[in-house]
Amino acid sequence: MINLLNGSTPAGILVALAGRARLGRGPDGLLTGTGYRLPVPPAPAFCLGNVILTRLDGTDTLPPRLLRHEARHATQFAWCGGLAMIPLYLAAAGTSWVLTGDFGSRNPFERLAGLADGGYADRPLRPRLTVWIGAGQGLTGRRRPAAVPGADEGGRAPAGRDGSTATPSR
């Protein structure tokens, strides 16, 4: 109901019609559009509001895992206020591509929808980024404390006359 009111489901129906998909009822209030023919997006299935579109024809069914994945995206459309999810998703996909060379691997929308269910792999950061991002981190992944003159091995500053370890303001 939320995606109907926020406009994302009507937009999904319009995209389904433009892509000559055959609309049918899916589980949990979702609509499925099979036989989608437009070249974009290139994904085998995608969601717009409560409409799940796929290039599969009517005789094929979406695998249950992929259907669950796309249904989670329908919930994300509701949480994002509808069509506002599209630029948010595209920004997240672009960031994921820069970090890993893959549009889904570090995309929080895909991660929350279940990477494996959507056919995505959990790819590592690009090697140069791993070195660059990891340069200031220890083995735990936490940032190392800045070096303080006279600090002990744990990076803690020496105690002042009053027992405080706070560094003076400049």
162 domain-assigned: no
Q: Structurally, how many domains does the chain consist of?
A: 1
Q: Are 144 and 119 in contact (CB under 8 A)?
A: no
30 in a domain, yes or no?
A: yes
- Is residue 64 assigned to a domain? yes
3-state SS class at 72: helix
Give the chain's residues under pLDDT 50.
138-144, 167, 169-170
Sign of CA dihedral 83, 65, 19, 104: positive
**Domain range for residue 58?**
2-113
User: Is 44 among the domain residues?
Assistant: yes
Please give, one letter per residue, the 3-state secondary structure of 20-74.
Answer: CCEEEECHHHCEEEECCCCCCCCCCEEEECCEEEECCCCCCCCCHHHHHHHHHHH
Q: Tokens for 12?
A: 């999904």
For residue 170, the model assigns a pLDDT of 43
Q: Residue 163: inside a domain, yes or no?
A: no
Q: Is residue 13 part of a domain?
A: yes
pTM: 0.73
Residue 125 counted as domain residue: no
Position 139 scores a pLDDT of 42
141 inside domain = no
- Answer for the pair 6, 83: CB distance below 8 angstroms, yes or no: yes
